[in-house]
Amino acid sequence: MLRLENNVQGFARLGLVVSKKAAKRANRRNYMKRVIREWFRRHQCVLPPHDFVVRVRKAFDKDSAPQARQELCEMMLPPTAQKTKE
């Protein structure tokens, strides 16, 4: 789930929510946060200046992380940037 708001800073910012409902073990929750933060860090320069809040509803692991990254691309990147990243 993604929620975004405009901000006045002029750059994209990230907020993360990974609850115990999504993953009981802290190491799994931390892994998911690391994957999302790394994706955000790599794409921050092409993201619009919004406050993005990502809430993980379904857990993912190393096998399904590429699919999670693809979903982030589809939700957060503007359509012109999606074409250049593929």
Pick the more confident residue, 82 or 28. 28
> How confident is the model at residue 82, as a pLDDT?
60
Residue 86 pLDDT greater than 50, yes or no: no
pLDDT in tens, 8-58: 888 899 999 999 999 999 999 999 999 999 999 999 999 988 999 999 999
Q: What share of the chain is helix, strand, coil (3-state, %, to 5)?
A: 45, 20, 35
Per-residue tokens: 62: 């190393």
> How confident is the model at residue 5, as a pLDDT?
79
